Amino acid sequence: MRYFIELSYRGGAYHGWQTQANGISVQTTLEAALTQRFQQPVFVIGSGRTDAGVHAAQQFAHFDVPAEINTSESMIHSLNCILPDDIGIHSIFPVRDEDHARYSAISRYYQYHISRQKDVFAPGLTYYFQPQLDDRLMNEACQILLKYTDFKSFSKVRANVTHFRCQLAFAYWERKNADQITFHIKANRFLWGMVRTIVGAMVEIGQGRMSLDQFDQLIQARDRTLLGRPAPANGLYLTEVGYPEGVLVNRPND
């Protein structure tokens, strides 16, 4: 039987979602807890591979087991007691054998949070950046971004992909208050390092260090080496994963 897991995590302590040879990952930690609780080997596949330090407000993964398992609230609670405080399971529910956490997903929605004020009670959860940013210019850059579907300029150089095309649904900056600003972006797929590199470029625009024309030309150049450093991982959140109708039909409270 195949089951989906809905979970969230703080990524600061992990070398990303995917199992790594040189560090602890969210995937490895989750598999260890499931294996311990269900008393059988459990291997999970996630909807996406978040980078080291990136958070997830909503992540889905699937796993296969030979027979039906207990997915009650008490079972979820016991799993959460096994897991560290920075990983939380919200639900486990059965899906069809053909439903796949990664390949069935039709959209991913990310947010990137920037704050001019240091939050000592939630360290590592936003990009602490003191200079004032012009969100009007940054939103004009979003309109330029939405004209394109090839984002090779924003992908890491070593990306092992067959193409660099992504269909954006939206991209915009939202100012929460004088000190907090959030980037929203949703697409059918994202390239390795894409969102953080976009944010890094837009922060340059927001400071007046890059013009809108330069931003447009950099996208057209399809050359990652022409862009600067990506924004830090700690401000980035996988916020929502979208699936076709029917995939999440057994999800509790859905």
Which residues are known catalytic residues? 51
**Helix (H/G/I), strand (E/B), else coil: 102:** coil
Cα-based distances in Å from 72 to 79, 91, 246: 11, 9, 21
Instruction: Provide the 10 A C-beta neighbour count for residue 213.
Output: 9
For residue 160, how many C-alpha atoms fall within 13 Å in the half-sphere facing its CB?
Answer: 0
Distance from C-alpha of 111 to C-alpha of 38, rounded to nearest angstrom: 34
Instruction: Name which of 160, 4, 182, 62 is nearest 110 in CA terms.
Output: 182
Token pair 């398992």 is at which residue? Answer: 69
